[in-house]
Amino acid sequence: MTLQFSPFLPWIAIAAIGLVGLALAALGFWRGLRGSAIRAVALALLVLALANPVFLQEDR
């Protein structure tokens, strides 16, 4: 069983979304805003969903 990615967007766009989200999460942690951890986890899951991971099982 292998994990393969079939992204919905180009990798550059996914990386840009991740970097902007990382910067916003860091700003939220730095300012001590409530819920920053939950927002960071939600954004990480969104970026992972955009990467569209697919498990493949090959029969030989």
Range of the domain at 29: 2-56
The pLDDT confidence band at residue 1, using thresholds 50, 70 and 90, is: confident
Treating both helix axes as pointing N-terminal to C-terminal, what angle do 11-31 and 36-51 enclose, rounded to 10 degrees?
A: 170
The tally of domains found in the chain comes to: 1
Q: Answer whether residue 38 shows pLDDT above 90.
A: yes
Q: pTM of this prediction?
A: 0.78
Q: What is the mean pLDDT of residues 34-46?
A: 93
- Taking the C-alpha atoms of residue 42 and residue 30, their distance in angstroms, rounded to an integer, is 18
